[in-house]
Structure 1
């Protein structure tokens, strides 16, 4: 015990120079397509405030050098496609030319955009600041549902007369506004607005409400503006899309006298319920207008969350540490906690939103929360079940109270199964089983936004045919290969929960159908790149309902061909190639290896995928294939591959992500990888690799128990990345995977490393579990 206490003390003091919080850099991934939210937020908070830019503005701000178009208080993080939220941005002009209202700039946000000074940007959890080219300093911090902006004119004085004009723009980042209303109080300058907007990746619309108060300067005049003109009368306005859907630029304004202490504050409350609730949120959460207090409380909220993880760096450089802790930080951007601010549910019902999308996040994001923040994850799963009870289906993608597009299977099934096998508490598992069984048995009318399509064919043929004849519902009539693979794994997850709850007949039924992936295997299919045969035979191929084959080049949708998104360039695989999807059989790796010709051929295929340029490490399906050497008894090769991607593709630079963070999906992948583990989501399996530090420890906030992954001879140059031996507490440990008991029981996994592959984790009994090749229940229980 004394030795353990000494280790914990040493571990804590080893990083005391810079705490976990101090090592977070929200600007990592803010350029080059990472699309991370770089502004101020609380963990899972609704209010996410940051200046918006005219360039890569998917998450509001980017360090791409483009101009500032406004200051908005709601965003999403790490998404692709259209920018999300950013509704009701404020816009500042230090003064209007000649002091004349007619010479103020109204109109489009892009025409009013201003530059910011390079090198002036500062970002930390709960805070963001920069300096505009007009010498006005801008800072912002947030609570759960409100933001406090400060505009400092100290450096601007002396250039011209300061009479700040603040506009509120009835728009959002993607200019999706359908209609909006605003009123301006002539005495106080309070602006209250609401509007109807469209989600960035879904159907329907949502209403958003805002309330803005000001402090620090007297009101000079107020009014409204439409397109290029503004006036002091009237004080209320309603606007829709306009004549022939022409987008009308409109909003309200307040012009101030010179700020008394050179600082003008704007307090912004937001809500999805009402303008009154938005005003209430702001007044309740920021009653004193104390910027330093709000900023300190935001910092403390992040510090509390980050306190459950600690490292002993062992010489790992600060850049590596920043990469790790920032990756963890990004896992708490979404989903956002809308509980109590949701017009669809009673106030007391748990409700999280902004699932972008479960297809991306089931693999590592939710599994990471099982070890890092299990209490919040239990709330998220209860929220998923509340959505199921309300709308009849579990969501695959959801944002701003709207149904999002399903990208493949019913992947909330995987999230629920993963939580079950890892013993999460405070979840109604009977209801959970009803929800995921509903996905497996019933087809919704619009399976493009929920559930699964083609279930008649799935049950009849054992795969999703090309051009499936579906009379029960409608959805995107493609992705037949990737949907088949995902439905198979969804069924495996349904079987897992069924077995755990004693539904034996269902468990056997869905375990059988989890082998349906094999029905798309074409044994004589070859693959070529630029006319050169790759030398590999046997690939997945699309198949018609009559059993005949259709051809899709195995390299299509890879980096060597073209990107295949949801609706642009759709193919039979979604966002990745057949070469990649061959390996997505997490439940049945033993049979997959037999199918491709054995372990050696399996390893050769993995090597070719990684070395040929076919693999896109920025996309989530590529994450598991980094580790799949484990199943062939070559865990050292997994570690070697991992170090080829970190830090080359994932690092602490501002362009330190190879693609979209996907609401923390990339962040959680990095956090796991640097901790020395990778989760096989839906199974009680973590694949073991050496951590990037001498030790990494996670303390369960519910049980108080601490799990540690430690290296006895850590090499900060990462030349020794091959595990030679392992011990679990005091016992020799030979398996190349471990279960969640590591975290539930607070164990220590100790690894000894070397420069060459060893025989550790290579024996048949040391390999991760797979379902039996004949589809029976034998060996199945080991997987959960």
Structure 2
């Protein structure tokens, strides 16, 4: 799968074939761009590195700030002013610490440092990025877990330079550029420089080695060179007092001369940054050895999922989705700058709302030990900062996304408890889970039985249910009874006359987008809507069955255009996250055939190859991991130990699960085409035993085995009677 990945997918505005069928009725309110970047990344690593144009939001690319519709161009061609570190992946926002330590190879004078060069060519693969500038300099970058290694090849020139700018980061858009609050920089010895900047209260340290032994090493301030060996200390930097500063190596370059710059990073000082670099590079410490190690790690992970198809394009799109699912969050053990003890630390959790339904379950299958580490990091943040984070980046303060959701870490903890994974102190977890449910709008939920927006009522009720799983595991019957009672308050969010959520101000969507979430008691949810037929009718209207095609927002859409689109009450077609689980709501009403039709439309019309191959922001892999599961014929119900089944998008697949290898086979499979016919499930077996229900317990599927689907071109009776469980009270039968 490694050789099939195209890291450029999603880096430019959406370019997909004109949709047909029900897919043509879905409306996209959010930016029509993946917001990914092709830079060098290590799986779940702390560091990324990429060409820097200042574009929104990763620092790479062509676009200005964009929150709706087709993104507006900032540049008319691919350009760069150098190569920066720490990029988001697929999100719609940025924090201040991104894109610092810009490395710029030059044959121009230092005064031209802030200019841009055209990118004549670009190449990328997992863990590797390469570009050629229009001045003839060739650049390559690779990364380790906490390091980056740059290699530059110069044309013949009497005054070549490698310049590292410590002074600015962020983006080249209005109010997007940032500066450090404090900084220090010192030359340690020839070829070695170290320093630290403080951004948003975070001390970001770097230790740098350069192998250009015969070049001069200099610090510079305000583009003036400083004597060798001098130290630069800036105790208070303000926008009015900022002058650019950094370091430089300069010398005569022979034709094709190669210069390596090796950088170790830490949030705990330059000594740890040095140790991180040397640990990442090993004894030989070269670009080639680091690249080989990173490639080997990527190959091992990407080979954990394989699919069978003769269509190279479909394999590429799938492999890239797996790759994008493994970039974030950033794991940085022993690196917290906010507390001194060792232990797990993660950042770029951007955000739980984006990743809890699909990406974290995928990581649980592929790397269960890392997900336990992630869970413990979340619990440590709760202990140190007061609550379980909704989003967490490399900045103090975890609760910065309160409008998105609440109690979402609870779903992950419930799934880990169901699987019986070791390494979590469940008494400790229970304390923080219960405390978290009572903060801010949790108080409103306690006092009046609901919280605004109404989607938070669903979050909190489900959070109580997931905490009930832990209470049951611990044998705390009193806490379990209380949580079951609180979990039943999901009903307060719904209007029984419409069968939909009550009117409220919803985050990035309307009540329609949130009305079909998979709850813990879907049987009661369907009854509230008037029964199976009424519920299916609501779903059919939401997914646009029988509706006319819609026109998507264009560039800089106006308020009235957006209001008219939202008024449709339509599915977002994976342009955004609020309704990504809604296709499987049909399962609970005995209509898995409808799920098959909707998922088919998404998989084969909303994703494609090339830079415009994503329908919306990838959001740290939330979108890509949805695609991975959908292609495999599985959908994880986060927190409930369930996988819902639907027709796979490949004839066969193999996947590493938490406790074994799963082989997926689709008998009767026909290679699909966009807008082509849908296939339906006629029967399913697991290791030869019939599966009459439209679901399988996660604790069973994670053991591995052979999951065999028999497909046909018309629906049958499979899944109509044996529906997924509705469990108002967590049941012992779902626990291992």
TM-score (norm. length: structure 2)? 0.85
Shift of 1:60: 4.0
SS of the residue 2:318 aligns to: helix
Equivalenced residues, count? 666
Moved more, 753-762 or 376-385: 376-385
Q: Partners in 2 of 1:186 and 1:437 — Cα distance? A: 50
1:461 is displaced (CA, Å) by: 1.5
- Going from structure 1 to structure 2, the CA distance change for 1:409 and 1:196 (only over 3 Å counts) comes to same
1:433 equivalent in alignment to 2:430: yes
* Residue 46 of structure 1: aligned partner: 46
Question: Aligned-pair distance for 1:260?
Answer: 7.8
* Aligned partner of 1:540 among 494, 501, 506: 501
The equivalent position to 2:668 in structure 1, one of 703, 709, 713, is 713
Shift of 1:248: 3.9
Q: Is 1:621 the equivalent of 2:578? A: yes
Partner of 1:682: 639
Q: Which residue number corresponds to residue 302 of structure 2?
A: 306
Q: Give the 3-state SS of the residue equivalent to 1:644 in structure 2.
A: helix
Q: Which residue of 1 aligns with 2:36?
A: 36
Shift of 1:243: 5.5
**Which of these residues, 218, 230, 239, is aligned with residue 222 of structure 1?**
218
- Match in the other structure for 2:406: 409
Partner of 1:92: 105
Q: Where does residue 649 of structure 1 map in the other structure?
A: 606
Partner residue of 2:460 out of 480, 484, 487: 487
Q: Does residue 737 of the first structure (1) align with residue 692 of the second (2)?
A: no
Write the mapping of 1:459-478 to structure 2, written as runs, cut at 5 A.
459-464=446-451
Deviation at 1:755, TM superposition (A): 0.8
* Pair 1:586 & 2:519 matched: yes
User: Shift of residue 299 of structure 1?
Assistant: 0.5
* CA distance, structure 1, for counterparts of residue 446 and residue 187 of structure 2: 62
Q: Is the 8 A contact 2:169 2:178 kept in 1?
A: yes
Q: CA–CA distance in 2 between the matches of 1:745 and 1:242?
A: 56
CA distance in 2, matches of 1:727, 1:284: 47
Asked if 1:509 corresponds to 2:482, the answer is: yes
SS of 1:384's equivalent in the other structure is: helix
Cα distance in 1 for partners of 2:499, 2:647 equals: 33
Distance in 1 between residues matched to 2:239 and 2:666, nearest whole Å: 66
Unaligned 5+ segments in structure 2 are 14-32, 64-74, 172-176, 548-567
C-alpha contact 2:381 2:388 (8 A) present in aligned 1:
yes
> CA offsets, 1:634-688, max 9 Å, x none?
1111111011111322223212222221111112111111111001110011110
TM-superposition CA deviations, 1:664-717 (whole Å, max 9, x none): 11121111111110011100111101111122222346x4x2222211121112
Q: Distance in 2 between matches of 1:573 and 1:176?
A: 31
Residue 252 of structure 1: aligned partner: 247
Secondary structure at the aligned position of 1:363 is classed as coil
Report the Cα offset of residue 519 of structure 1: 1.7
State the shift of 1:523 in Å.
3.8
Residue 10 of structure 2 aligns to a residue whose secondary structure is: coil
- Counterparts of 1:647 and 1:135, CA distance in 2: 41
SS at match of 1:252: strand
User: Partners in 2 of 1:186 and 1:514 — Cα distance?
Assistant: 59
Larger RCO (CA under 8 A, 6+ residues apart): 2
| Range with greater deviation from structure 2 (30-39 or 299-308) | 30-39
Instruction: Judge conservation of contact 2:356–2:412 (CA < 8 Å) in 1.
Output: yes
1:264 and 2:259 are equivalent in the alignment: yes
Matched, 1:24 2:36: no
> Does residue 386 of the first structure (1) align with residue 386 of the second (2)?
no
Partners of 2:142 and 2:150 within 8 A in 1: yes
Establish whether residue 767 from structure 1 lines up as the match of residue 723 from structure 2.
yes
Give the equivalent residue in structure 1 for 2:192: 190
Which structure's CA Rg is the greater one?
1
Instruction: Give the Å deviation of 1:168.
Output: 2.2
Matching of residues 695-706 of structure 1 within 5 Å: 695-700=652-657, 703=659, 705-706=660-661
Distance in 1, matches of 2:495 and 2:382, equals 38
- TM-score by length of structure 1 reads 0.80
Uncovered stretches (5+) of structure 1, i.e. residues with no partner: 1-19, 199-204, 444-452, 465-478, 525-536, 543-551, 553-571
The alignment status of 1:124 with 2:118, answered yes or no, reads no
1:285 and 2:283 matched: no
Alpha-carbon deviations, 1:347-395, whole Å to 9, x = none? 6412222211112111111111222211211121122222233334222
1:458 aligns with 2:460: no
C-alpha contact (below 8 Å) 1:187/1:219 kept by paired residues:
no
Instruction: Output one character per residue of 1:198-228: Cα deviation in whole Å (capped at 9) or x when no partner.
Output: 3xxxxxx3110112221135224623132xx
Equivalent position SS for 1:514 = helix
Aligned partners of 2:188 and 2:194 also within 8 Å: no
For residues 658 and 761 of structure 1, the distance between their equivalents in structure 2, rounded to whole angstroms, comes to 30
Structure-2 separation of matches of 1:329 and 1:721? 27
CA distance in structure 1 between the aligned counterparts of 2:10 and 2:36, rounded to whole angstroms: 6
C-alpha distance in 2, partners of 1:388/1:437?
Answer: 11
What's the secondary structure of 1:622's corresponding residue?
A: coil
- Which residue is 1:519 aligned to? 492
- Call closer, same or farther: CA 1:165–1:461 in 2, change over 3 Å: closer
- Render the CA deviation track for 1:305-342: whole Å, top value 9, x for unaligned: 223323333x4x12221222221222221121211333
Change (3 A) 1:90 1:505: same
Is it true that 1:69 corresponds to 2:81 in the alignment?
A: yes
**Range that drifts further, 184-193 or 332-341:** 184-193
Equivalent position of 1:164 in the other structure: 161
Give the equivalent residue in structure 2 for 1:326: 320
- C-alpha distance in 2 between matches for 1:131 and 1:379: 39
Q: Give the match for residue 115 of structure 2.
A: 112
Tell me the equivalent position of 1:663. Answer: 620
1:62 shift after superposition: 6.3
Partners of 2:307 and 2:239 in 1: CA distance: 59
User: Per the alignment, do residues 652 and 762 of structure 1 end up closer, same or farther by CA in structure 2, a change over 3 Å counting?
Assistant: same
- Tell me what 1:531 maps to: none
